[in-house]
């Protein structure tokens, strides 16, 4: 939906409603501006048939169940008193991380057009074994894209598993059931060709900021232990700092824990930083596992495509200016060079505005660490080969933020004709040539139609003139004594 100025109808407010855990009676008043905004843009006559969903994520998930219930009850009680949207008890809930991942996966693939029935010659396809289908033969449909999302606290991966997978043990199969989501995006439950099997896993503590905190906690513990064993004072004074390979060269930093301070100085060694971070992946020797030893079904790397959001984009773009198509070799070289550059030079570049406008000193300070962390999570944690060429890091897709909320609406209305929903609003700004082609064809058709119409009119006018001239010519022939045609007739 767009407003009269052709701008997307979007409104966001902060913080999330979990901030009202101790005063749940204020929640409905707090989100009232959002609902009023929606009410202004949805036609008044359509309010009663427009479903409203309030779906709560991580902030609410960490609250005690009693506080979650109190907040939802306030919403369910007060909203119907002031708004006429279609809003029932089942429309307000706290969703799981798995649901959130599925919604995000649906949203990105919808915007990319991967649920369309129209097949183009240059688009990749995949053979899919439909879950529960009696037929042993798979169906061929458009290949969907997987997503990787690294926030401050957690990291998430979601992708379609087109083929039936086998398990090394019954225990692994039981774990997999909690990570695999099967759902139908067809117009009805009988259209099994629209059934998707998606793997979704969320890893708490593997976000960029949480990882750095874990790393610093380990530094404190290891340094204290070594100092006791070796009788050293490493990191206890600015003159004898701990040499941190994950900080830019010659930067000075200090961290506090339990009233104690650890002094650091960066050495900017990207390879050593990576090596230091590898144990934090918590990988096991079992097959088909990823971070923390969690089950991960095989990925067909030769026929797959992934989009990396949040920290995957920030790490590649904000400082290194390499967002978009990911290349491991180029990224590694750029990260090495950045880490090995003196902090004074990095600060000078920052002051000259050579980095992205929203890159701040915090980003510069931890860019080396986060680059190494992202690299290790992607290649060691999720086992993507360093030769993998089909990862795109992005903030937006087709110039639009792709939120899990879009996928949530699509999923909740999955028995409507998903394939018939128009997505031009999402694609217009990106698919320039398609737009040009459409306009060009439109004018070409109109031009051809006018030419044909004009030709018909000219032809009819000519026939009319010929018809008028015929009797006149005959009379002239008689008057001038010209020979007439033999035989009976008016001449």
- Backbone φ, ψ for residue 377 (5° rounding): -60, -45
Contact of 241 with 264, CB cutoff 8 Å: yes
Strands in 324-325's sheet, in edge-to-edge order, are 180-184, 195-204, 154-160, 146-150, 306-310, 391-393, 324-325
**pLDDT tens sequence across 405-461:** 989 988 887 755 454 444 433 444 444 333 333 333 455 667 777 888 888 888 777
CA-CA-CA-CA torsion for 61, 63, 64, 66, nearest 10 degrees?
-90
Does residue 286 carry a catalytic annotation?
Answer: no
Catalytic residue among 40, 49, 73, 100: 100
DSSP-derived pairing of the beta strands 54-56 and 92-94: parallel
Residue 18 in tokens: 């979990």
Contact of 126 with 105, CB cutoff 8 Å: no
pLDDT-wise least confident of 19-33, 52-66, 334-348, 452-466: 452-466
Q: What is the pLDDT of residue 171?
A: 76
Burial class (CB in 10 A: 0-12, 13-18, 19+), 315: buried
For the residues 464-483, what does the mean pLDDT come to? Answer: 50
Name the residue with higher pLDDT: 407 or 326: 326
Binding site residues for ATP, as ranges? 152-156
Q: What is the pLDDT of residue 452?
A: 82
Q: What is the pLDDT of residue 133?
A: 64
pLDDT at residue 88 tops 70: yes
For the residues 256-282, what does the mean pLDDT come to? Answer: 95
Residue 392, classed as helix, strand or coil, is strand
Confidence of residue 484 (pLDDT cuts 50, 70, 90): very low
CA distance 253 to 351: 20
Give the Å distances, CA to CA, from 89 to 69, 72, 77, 78: 12, 9, 10, 12
Q: What is the pLDDT of residue 382?
A: 96
CA distance 379 to 295: 16
- For residue 253, the cross-strand partners are 264
**pLDDT tens sequence across 241-250:** 999 999 999 9
CA distance 425 to 90: 29
For the residues 387-414, what does the mean pLDDT come to? Answer: 88
Q: What is the pLDDT of residue 442?
A: 52
Please name the residues in contact with 265: beta carbons below 8 A apart, sequence gap of 6 or more: 241, 242, 243, 244, 247, 250, 251, 252, 253
């Amino acid at each position: 939906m767009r407003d009269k100025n052709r701008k997307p109808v979007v409104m966001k407010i902060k913080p999330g409603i979990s901030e009202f855990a101790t005063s749940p009676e204020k929640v409905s008043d707090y989100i009232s501006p959002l609902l009023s905004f929606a009410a202004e843009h949805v036609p008044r006559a359509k309010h009663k048939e427009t479903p409203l969903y309030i779906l709560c994520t991580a902030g609410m998930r960490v609250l005690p169940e009693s506080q979650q219930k109190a907040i939802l009850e306030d919403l369910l009680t007060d909203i119907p008193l002031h708004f006429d949207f279609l809003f029932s008890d089942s429309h307000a809930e706290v969703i799981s991380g798995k649901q959130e991942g599925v919604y995000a996966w649906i949203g990105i693939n919808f915007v990319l057009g991967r649920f369309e029935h129209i097949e183009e010659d240059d688009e990749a396809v995949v053979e899919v074994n439909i879950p529960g289908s009696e037929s042993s033969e798979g169906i061929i449909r458009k290949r969907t894209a997987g997503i990787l999302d690294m926030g401050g606290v957690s990291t998430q991966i979601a992708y379609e598993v087109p083929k039936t997978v086998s398990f090394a043990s019954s225990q692994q199969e039981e774990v997999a059931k909690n990570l695999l989501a099967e759902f139908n995006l067809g117009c009805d439950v009988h259209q099994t060709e629209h059934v998707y099997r998606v793997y979704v896993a969320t890893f708490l503590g593997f976000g960029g900021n949480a990882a750095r905190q874990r790393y610093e906690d380990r530094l404190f513990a290891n340094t204290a232990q070594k100092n006791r064993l070796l009788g050293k004072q490493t990191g206890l004074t600015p003159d004898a700092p701990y040499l941190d390979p994950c900080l830019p060269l010659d930067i000075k930093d200090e961290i506090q824990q339990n009233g104690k301070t650890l002094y650091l100085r960066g050495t900017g060694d990207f390879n050593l930083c990576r090596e230091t971070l590898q144990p934090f992946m918590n990988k096991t020797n079992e097959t088909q596992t990823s971070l923390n030893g969690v089950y991960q079904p095989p990925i067909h790397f030769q026929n797959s495509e992934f989009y990396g959001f949040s920290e995957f984009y920030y790490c590649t773009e904000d400082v290194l200016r390499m967002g978009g198509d990911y290349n491991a070799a180029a990224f590694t070289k750029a990260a090495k060079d950045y880490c090995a550059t003196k902090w004074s030079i990095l600060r000078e570049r920052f002051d000259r505005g050579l980095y992205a406008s929203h890159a701040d000193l915090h980003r510069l300070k931890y860019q080396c660490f986060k680059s190494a962390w992202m690299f290790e999570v992607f290649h060691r944690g999720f086992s993507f080969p360093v030769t993998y060429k089909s990862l795109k890091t992005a903030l937006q897709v087709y110039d639009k933020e792709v939120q899990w909320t879009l996928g949530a609406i699509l999923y909740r209305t999955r028995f409507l004709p998903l394939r018939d929903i128009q997505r031009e609003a999402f694609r217009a700004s990106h698919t320039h040539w398609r737009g040009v082609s459409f306009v060009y064809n439109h004018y070409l058709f109109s031009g051809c139609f006018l030419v044909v119409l004009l030709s018909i009119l000219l032809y009819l006018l000519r026939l009319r003139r010929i018809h008028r001239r015929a009797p006149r010519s005959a009379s002239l022939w008689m008057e001038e004594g010209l020979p007439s045609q033999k035989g009976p007739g008016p001449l």
